[in-house]
Amino acid sequence: MTSNHKKLVLLIGVAASMLMMWWALRDTDTDRILSALKTANYWLSVPLLLCYMTFFVLKAIRWRLLIRPMKVTTTKTLIAPMMLGFFGNNILPAHLGDFIRMYLGARALGLRSAQILGTLILERVFDVLAIVMLFEIALIFGGFALPEVSSIQVVIEIVAVALLLLLLSYVLWTPVFVKVIDKLLFFVPRHWRAVIANQMQLSASGLATVRSPRLLFPILLNSIVQWAIAGLAIYISLEAVGLDLSVTAAIVVLTATVFAVMLPAAPGFFGAVQLAFILTLTPYGVSEDMAFAASVYYHVLTYSAVTLFGFYLIKRLGYNISRLQDDTESSMQSAMSSKPGNQD
């Protein structure tokens, strides 16, 4: 990615975050937000951060299970690549942290980047499935039956089913799937189509867990538990600012937050998280001031914890942010520019 491209991507993300932050703040009272944050219960930050730590430990365990068909490793080995990936998303634009995680994971395990990418794709699918399941439970038991929420529910269900069908097609009929993609990319130069096809073949090996029922159940169970704990962290943030809501309400907020951070945004997803809290809490009768305060309590604590731990890991590994970004981009360019069969 050239310097100009980096600046453009960053500019688009910052503009999107500013727009979402403006939308979140437009009907709020700054004094009321500050008052809510001033009187918040900061002792509850301890269980919130413990939930967040447990969430990441479970995520590392799941990643180890996803990688197992290709290589047996330990959870401890995966902690640094995973956390530096989330750290990268907090400080770098365009979700570059996901590629940092891919690069460091491949280097640590001696696997190809495309194989690690396959596990990250599968991870996202399990995330969506787990969140949809929790969201459905929240709607059933939470008494949250507004018409607009029903529409959102339908959209989420369609997206989840479509992702699952695409994944299964990719894994079970990889050669046919790759040929279809190749046909759809008829406008792309032949060399690049060959590179893309080869990368997809390599990535398919990273999706091998889907073929193993023995691994499939613990991975799905892990996904549900880790996202339930993430919902508990949001519930604690609501309690901390004095909002007496159910855990099911926190799951609804979690669902909106997860999908919101997929949108273009500045590093750290500021604006996206705040808007997600406001749009999902106001139907519960929560004022926009209190919803915004809860989002700040949750977001600042979790963002700070991941970012500080990332800086610690960077220092421990003898890296710096610029070098890590450059090495990741060089690895991506090398893989994509190599002839098919010789990718990283």
**Within a domain: 35:** yes
Q: H-type helices in the chain, by residue range?
A: 3-25, 30-38, 45-67, 75-91, 96-109, 113-142, 147-172, 174-184, 190-205, 213-240, 247-260, 272-281, 288-316, 321-337
218-234 pLDDT tens trace = 998 999 999 999 999 99
Q: Higher pLDDT residue, 307 or 116?
A: 307
Summarize the confidence of residues 84-96 as an average pLDDT: 88
Q: In terms of residue numbers, what domain contains 178?
A: 3-337
Residue showing tokens 């962290």: 233
* Number of independent structural domains in the chain: 1
Q: What is the dihedral of CA 167, 172, 176, 180, to 10 degrees?
A: -10
**Within a domain: 344:** no
What is the reported pLDDT for 324? 82
Q: Higher pLDDT residue, 256 or 207?
A: 256
User: Is 299 a residue whose pLDDT tops 60?
Assistant: yes
Closest CA to 99 of 274, 332, 318: 332
As a whole number of angstroms, the distance between CA 149 and CA 138 comes to: 12
**Within a domain: 343:** no
Residue showing tokens 């396959």: 118
Most confident of 10-14, 26-30, 55-59, 321-325: 55-59
**Within a domain: 63:** yes
**Within a domain: 61:** yes
As a whole number of angstroms, the distance between CA 154 and CA 318 comes to: 48
What is the reported pLDDT for 206? 61
Half-sphere exposure (CA, 13 Å, Cβ side) for 222? 20
pTM higher than the cut 0.95? no
**Within a domain: 204:** yes
208-222 pLDDT tens trace = 666 677 888 899 899
